[in-house]
A and B are shown apart, each in its own frame.
Chain A
Amino acid sequence: MTQFLPASKQIILHIALIVFFAMTGHVASARADAALPATKLQQIGDDQYLAGAFRLDRYLAGFEQPLISKGAFTLSPGDGLVWQNREPFPDVTVMTDRGITRIGDDGSRETIANGAQFNQFITLISAVLSGNWDALSQHFIVTERSAETDDATDGDSASTWQIELTPIAGRPIADQIAHITASGRDFVDHVRIDKPTDDHDEITLSNQTAASLPLPDDIAALLAGQVQ
């Protein structure tokens, strides 16, 4: 049984990791160093944090309509991620290198997962934000796709990019993820996560801004006190 034991934790960890790095612009950031077609991608430094809005469309096979949630997120490379649902109901998920905690609208806290595995969580995020591709290359084959050269909205074709991540065969993450596609301009704007079960998530990020630390007090408090 030994090899199964951390399984549930690691599944959660991998899913969280994917969400984490897929939405932060690290992909584009890293590829920018690798001569990605000219982009205006903003890199997030250790002394910065990224904040914005999200919309998560969860498509489940056989379900006619996706499960849609909306809210705000805050990412600090050194501290973690706060994912605040506004719709269809308010709740908060805090992800750090110590684990994942869910906080209900009544203030109740539930630790979804914790443990030393999550130390790699923030380490990976920091690595990708700083353009250290090695950290991700252990898990994924990274492929640059030709981006659409004409953007109907503003005609700024050079600013659009798209990256595809395919789990390396045999890696545990391949059990959970079939394929990831991320695209954006200044930041990651859209992420599609295809799962082996024919389900997929689409995450749309908007109104993103990079600001200097310190974090807002409420966010800092959430990140500091997630694990009791």
Chain B
Amino acid sequence: MNVRAVIWVLCLIVMGVLTFWQINAQNAKIDGDILSLIGREHHDGDADQQDRSSDITIVRDLLRRDANQVIIMMSHPDRDQLEKASRTLAQHFRDMDGTTSVSLPGFETGDASSLYGFYLDHAGGLLSQKDRDMLINGDGQRIYKRAVQSLYAPSSMISAQSLASDPFSLLPGFLAELGDKIGQSGLVHKDDRHGTPIIITLAPHVRTSGFEADWVNHANDLIATATASDDALLIAKTGQIFFAVSEASHAKSDVQRIAVIATLGVIAMVVWVFMSPLPILAALLTVGSGLLAGITALVLIFDSIHAIALVFGASLIGISIDYALHYLVLPGSDRTDDTRLSHVRPGLRLGLLTTVCGFSALAFTPTILLAQISVYSIAGLIAAYVTVVTILPCLPARNIRDRAAIRVIYQKIDTVLLAVRPSNGLRHVMLALATVALIGAAFYLPANDDIAALGHGDDALIADARMIGETLGMGGNPQFIRVDGDDIQDRLETGEAIRDAVRPLIADGRIGSLFGLSDVIPSISRQNANRALITSQLIAPFGPQLQAVIPVDISSTQDTKTPLEPAPEILAAIPGLSGLQRGETDIIRLNAVKDVDAVRDAISHIGQARLINPRETITGQFARYRVWASIALGVSLLVAGLVAVLRYGFPDGLHVVAAPLIAILCAVSGAFVLGVTINFFAIMALFLVFAIGADYAIFTSESHQHGTQDATRFAVFLSLISSVLAFGLLATSSVPVVNAIGTIISIGLISAWVLSYWMCAGHNGNDHHTTHPQSRGHQ
């Protein structure tokens, strides 16, 4: 083993140790949460925009908060049985590792007395809308009578303390209305069944440490046990964790199946061709070093590495194995290692250069995800190249077997493909047409970035979520209205204006409910208006009469009251409120929205308010990813064309880049015909088509320089088989996004392979396959 190989092996060992240490020391964590991916772009917006969170940032935070919530709906014809079963199941969930808290709104009031006490100090400025309307309409008499009745009612909330602060018993109405505003009934009766939610808050580590599948499995076991114990008991569940685990399970199952088949296929292919395990070792070393270097680069540069970046980065296996095969197929019997290497090194360098240029373009997009993919791929491919040129020459050479079936098949196909020899003019026309078509496709081909179309979709979970939404008005797509403003009181007043605007929609059922900070803490101007109403419509006309019944100085009850304000300590004291405010933005959450357009119209006149649909927002984000990736792909093709022209001159250089360009067009067209959705992930698949397709074309072109055409074409053929095994099988996946990637790469690579013959073959008639005497002698 020469010195360079030893040094490189040492470098790989250092990388391995460094990566292991970084990950174990939590200096770099692998993040599988798609929410951490969004809202992490570099912005150059104005200062005002930077002070206020972007839509996507708020959506991310909101979804992250919701991500830790699980809703279990219990339903039973018998209320007592329901309570018994709910309490039992809730306790089981409390005992589960990973559960932070469990609440049973149907049967537990929570800290109701402290909430009542909290409001009692500010009761003079708090009115339900119903009472407010009555006072505005001059109907204080009814409220006075109700207050007197409350004094003697058997079911009254009054106490000496409450009368001192709230002599007209207005606070119970405010609290009751608050409950209605939130719209989450603890116990509902529908279709002769009682239903109640169990609301579970997960520990943050459940969603970030890969523990979520365990939690979901345990939860499913508990639910199955509860259901089995009582035939009349129905249980539905919803929460991001269930959908995430379901999708991951589908994808994992598919990918595992595909990985096993692909790995066995590639191993069988290599062994079959070489009749030796050494080439397998060489391929594994090349691919392994690439993966290791990619991860090392990520952990050194980024604090957090996203799983999608790892998955796409790992797809460089398909590229790096090309490098290994390109070297391994060269006959080694009577040549030195340096000679063999000299034949492939220029092609490898050029292939590496074009691919690195392509992935570098991704690094300049303003997205962390694409930057991570870029860094991973560039570092990985450089490492794979270094392994090929340093370590592989140290391994004993193994020649291919000419009589291997795969070789025979190759020779027949090779003959057919070589028979087609487009003229240079035709090649120019093909390149021109493909360029125009590709530009047209970029602008006019319909894309669908809807995140809902990415996953497999679990019908049972979707049905459960719908049932919970319809029965309890909980869960579902968490739409919200964002309210911006420098001053908190302005935002609270805007919130009150929104409620006024949307009230008719709630009345006719187009919205289930909405809930914002101003519902819990009215603006000071609203509180002052309430105080004025109470003073003029209740205290002045009815205070003396009420004072005759209860020994409270009613006229002074408004004197010492301070307005309720959303101070941080108050927001912290009431659970659920902290999530409704972020800097200079307040959030008003909507439940059970049936008519989004009606909501948008209703608040359109309120300048500081905007309806946000998280699904639309994230979809828009992925659309931007797609655009950036498409631009980067275009830049990559241009750079690759420039490099190729510099190397091969004009027009041969253009022909070389025409192969991956036309392959990309074929992949896009094929995807369109097959109904495959064009989205960000599809563009990333096209990136792989470009990178691998460019290698095919470059290797083929380089072979003309070194008289290794046949060996190179065979290497490309083997590479194609391995890539189709690795990527093509993805097209059989039931997960739409995985299926799309597999379909696009399969079409693209097969096209690139064929085009490497037609666009890059020489014209001197020396392309026909030969059987090397050396290799023949080894058989």
Contacts and interface: CB of A to CB of B under 8 A. Distances in A.
14 contacts: A4-B179, A5-B179, A16-B154, A61-B159, A63-B160, A67-B549, A95-B155, A112-B153, A116-B187, A116-B189, A117-B186, A120-B80, A172-B109, A197-B159
Contacts, number: 165
A100 B176 CA distance: 13
A15 B182 contact: no
Contacts of A11: 109, 112, 116, 157
Interface string A16-60: 100100000000000000000000000000000000000010101
B184 interface: yes
Residue of A4, A60, A135, A138 contacting most chain B CB atoms (<10 Å): A4
Given A6-B187, A117-B187, A15 B155 contact: yes
A199 B158 CA distance: 10
B466 interface: no
Contacts of A91: 149
- Top 8 nearest A-B pairs (CB, nearest first) are A3-B110, A7-B112, A172-B109, A69-B152, A116-B189, A6-B186, A1-B576, A175-B113
B392 to A, nearest CB: 62
Given A1-B520, A7-B175, A10-B112, A108 B142 contact: yes
Interface string B539-570: 00000000001110000000000000000000
B575 interface: yes
B172 interface: yes
Contacts of B160: 60-63, 197-199
Given A7-B179, A113-B176, A100 B155 contact: yes
Contact of A110 (B79, B146, B152, B577): B146
Contact of A2 (B146, B175, B182): B182
B638 interface: no
Contacts of A69: 152
B145 to A, nearest CB: 7
Nearest to B177: A8
Interface stretch (B100-108, B598-606, B610-618): B100-108
Nearest to B145: A104
A227 interface: no
Interface of B: 79-80, 83, 103, 105-106, 108-113, 115-116, 142, 145-146, 148-149, 151-161, 163, 172, 175-176, 178-179, 182, 184-189, 194, 199, 515, 520, 549-551, 574-577
B393 to A, nearest CB: 67
Interface in A59-78: 60-64, 67, 69
Contacts of B142: 108
Given A6-B186, A7-B110, A60-B159, A19 B154 contact: yes
Contacts of A6: 105-106, 109, 179, 185-187
Interface in A93-126: 93, 95, 100, 102, 104, 108, 110, 112-113, 115-117, 119-120, 123
Interface string A123-151: 10000000000010010000000000000
Nearest to B549: A67
Contacts of B148: 89
Nearest to A114: B176
Contacts of B576: 1-2
A164 to B, nearest CB: 20
A198 to B, nearest CB: 8
B152 A119 contact: no
B109 A12 contact: no
Interface centre among A5, A12, A83, A88 (most CB of B within 10 A): A5
A140 to B, nearest CB: 15
B161 A197 contact: yes
Contacts of A197: 159-161
Nearest to A54: B154
Interface of A: 1-12, 15-16, 19, 56, 58, 60-64, 67, 69, 83, 85, 88-89, 91, 93, 95, 100, 102, 104, 108, 110, 112-113, 115-117, 119-120, 123, 135, 138, 172, 175-176, 195-199, 203
A172 B80 CA distance: 17
A4 B154 contact: no
Contacts of A100: 155
A208 B178 CA distance: 40
Contacts of B115: 4, 7
Label chain A's interface by main secondary structure: mixed
Contacts of A83: 153-154
B749 to A, nearest CB: 52
Contacts of A64: 551
Contact of B149 (A7, A104, A138): A104
A10 to B, nearest CB: 5
Given A6-B106, A7-B112, A123 B146 contact: no
Given A89-B148, A110-B146, A116-B194, A3 B179 contact: no
Nearest to B101: A3
B196 to A, nearest CB: 9
Contacts of B178: 4-5, 8
Nearest to A7: B112
Contacts of A175: 109, 112-113
A4 B152 CA distance: 26
A85 B151 CA distance: 12
A3 B101 CA distance: 11
A1 B575 contact: yes
Contacts of A102: 146, 149, 153
Nearest to A19: B154
Contact of A199 (B146, B159, B188): B159
A1 B194 contact: no
B152 A85 contact: yes
B152 A58 contact: yes
Given A63-B551, A175-B112, A197-B160, A1 B187 contact: no
Nearest to B130: A110
B189 A119 contact: yes
Given A10-B186, A64-B551, 13 more contacts: A3-B108, A3-B109, A5-B178, A8-B157, A8-B176, A11-B157, A60-B159, A62-B160, A102-B153, A117-B106, A123-B79, A172-B112, A197-B160
Residue from the set B106, B108, B154, B186 with the largest chain A CB neighbour count within 10 Å: B154
A93 B153 contact: yes
A88 B148 CA distance: 10
B111 A3 contact: yes
Contacts of B154: 15-16, 19, 56, 83, 93, 95, 203
Given A16-B155, A58-B151, A119 B112 contact: no
A67 B549 CA distance: 8
A116 B182 contact: no
Given A3-B575, A102-B149, A120-B79, A112 B105 contact: no
In this complex, the member of A2, A95, A138 whose beta carbon has the largest number of chain B beta carbons within 10 angstroms is: A2
A61 B164 CA distance: 11
A9 B520 CA distance: 17
A2 B199 contact: yes
Nearest to B197: A2
B82 to A, nearest CB: 10
B369 to A, nearest CB: 34
A10 B83 CA distance: 15
Given A3-B103, A3-B575, A5-B179, A60 B163 contact: yes
Nearest to B114: A175
A5 B186 CA distance: 8
